[in-house]
Amino acid sequence: MQAQEIKEQLKSLIEQASSIDPNLAKKLSEINRWVKNIKPGSLTAKPFVLAFLLEVITDSTIWLIIKSLPSKEEQTAKFEQMTPNERYWYSYLFPKWINATDSKFYIWKQKLMAGEFNQGDDDIIKAIAQDIVQREGSVWQRYIADLSMATDLIVSSHQAKPLCIQVTSVSEEFNHQKYHYWQNTLHSWEIERGLFLSYNPKNANYIKQLVNIAMYNSDCLSGGKYLKFS
């Protein structure tokens, strides 16, 4: 989808949402104000902004389809057709974001637009995701989850129980403050289980170790737990 098409699709979704989910319409209107004065060529030169917009358009389209279904039973049936991670996102986290005041939204919109979005652990997160999928688990990634909910990946293993994970290379002696910030963020979004993974890139098997920990805790971590592994 080209930049101009994205802007037109955003406006169309605002119109649809205004009668189906006014809170979503407000969120999309805020995003539209953020990008409406940027020329398509300039927007094309901002790949992270475009990727975020495409995600929001996709998620909003799916959400409006679900909300438009005439009964709760039909909505539930739609959720049941999804993977566990998709279901967790569309039935729980995405509507939470729609209806909440996102205190971080203003800050990270500025960073995305300025090209200051730092994905220092991106290659590691991709490697973890690939390994999980190869081992018949599943993963889910969203900019909103990353930037507002301190969640790099949502992971499901054999028990199909989604788990929110943050990955960092910050060493043990310095990650204490980041861990508490992460924990408070998950608690504020009422995310009931989380895993904070700190890795040492000098360890030859760290990807395998991180995947083992993620998949085991996806199945076994009980509710109300926020665990840190280094």
In three-state form (DSSP H/G/I as H, E/B as E, the rest C), the secondary structure along the chain is CCHHHHHHHHHHHHHHHHHHCHHHHHHHHHHHHHHCCCCHHHHHCCHHHHHHHHHHHHHHHHHHHHHHCCCHHHHHHHHHCCCHHHHHHHHHHHHHHHHCCCCCHHHHHHHHHHCCCCCCCHHHHHHHHHHHHHCCCEEECCHHHHHHHCCCEEEECCCCCCEEEEEECCCCCCCHHHHHHHHHHHHHCCCCEEEEEECCCCCCCHHHHHHHHHHHHHHHCCCCEEEEEC
pLDDT of residue 170: 66
pLDDT of residue 153: 96
Length of the chain: 230
**Residues lower than pLDDT 50 in the chain:** none
pLDDT of residue 173: 65
Positive or negative torsion for Cα 10, 94, 131, 199: positive
pLDDT of residue 171: 66
- Distance of alpha carbon 75 from alpha carbon 63, whole angstroms: 10
- Distance of alpha carbon 210 from alpha carbon 128, whole angstroms: 7
Q: How far is CA 209 from the centre of its chain?
A: 23
- Asked if 162 and 154 touch (Cβ cutoff 8 Å), the reply is yes
Average pLDDT of the chain is: 92
- Distance of alpha carbon 27 from alpha carbon 148, whole angstroms: 14
Is this prediction's pTM over 0.85? yes
The candidate with the shortest Cα–Cα distance to 25, out of 60, 71, 68, is: 60
- Distance of alpha carbon 3 from alpha carbon 53, whole angstroms: 10
Q: Which two tokens stand for residue 7?
A: 């802007």
pLDDT of residue 205: 86
Work out the angle between the directed axes of helices 47-68 and 3-20 (0-180°, nearest 10): 30
